[in-house]
Amino acid sequence: MKMEQSMCRKSNCWDNSPTERFFRSLKSEQLNDEKFSTKEAAKLSVIDYLAFYNDKRTHSKLEYKPLRV
């Protein structure tokens, strides 16, 4: 996975907010107090969270229903 630098106007606070929100959720919901024995275990944990975040997590814009059922 590759992230690209933003090319938005200077001081545009909306540019990074979706990315910052995702990483805040990842840290607080999945990685909080986790101790991984290997890099691979950490990677699998993040992949599991991505599947949850994209498919199963409820969304306020969808009346708190998951994106996919």
Angle in degrees, CA 51, 57, 60, rounded to 5: 145
Q: Is residue 29 part of a domain?
A: no
pTM above 0.95, yes or no: no
Q: What domain count does the chain have?
A: 1
pLDDT tens sequence across 12-65? 666 677 778 888 888 888 888 889 999 999 999 999 988 887 777 766 766 767
Q: Is residue 12 part of a domain?
A: no
- Domain of 54 in residue numbering reads as 37-69
Q: Is residue 53 part of a domain?
A: yes
Q: Is residue 42 part of a domain?
A: yes
- Of 69, 60, 48, which is closest to residue 21 (Cα–Cα)? 60
Q: Are residues 22 and 53 in contact, defined by beta-carbon separation less than 8 angstroms?
A: yes
Q: Is residue 64 part of a domain?
A: yes
Alpha carbon distances (Å) from 8 to 16, 55, 65: 9, 29, 32
Q: Is residue 66 part of a domain?
A: yes
